[in-house]
Amino acid sequence: MNVIKVNLDDVAFAKLNGSSPEDMYGVYQAQPAVFMIEKLNAWKVEGHKVVIETNRDVETEFDITHKWLDHYEVPYDELVWVQ
């Protein structure tokens, strides 16, 4: 099984001046993010392990990051918080 590492910034784009933490990130029909989610789906189907890495603040953005990944049904095996 191959491990594929992807940076969360390649999947989610920060929205400036979000009115709430939940509103700060999203796909917003951004083609690169949609394309990356499609690639992640394909890699999962092929049997690869998908690891998403992020340097977001684990203390303040842990819950919203997981909610975002669940909402957009982003396929991954592990989320790694890089310091």
Position 47 scores a pLDDT of 94
Query: Which tens digits make up the pLDDT trace of 33-57?
Result: 778 888 999 999 999 999 999 988 8
Angle at 27 between CA 21 and CA 29, to 5 degrees: 140
Q: How far apart are CA 52 and CA 67, in angstroms?
A: 14
Query: Which tens digits make up the pLDDT trace of 53-82?
Result: 998 888 888 888 898 888 888 999 999 999
User: What would the mean pLDDT of 6-17 be, rounded to a whole number?
Assistant: 73
CA distances from 5 to 14, 15, 18, 63 (A): 20, 23, 27, 21
Position 17 pLDDT exceeds 70: no
Position 79 scores a pLDDT of 95
Position 11 pLDDT exceeds 70: yes
* Cβ atoms 52, 66 nearer than 8 A: no
Element (H, E) at 13: strand 13-14
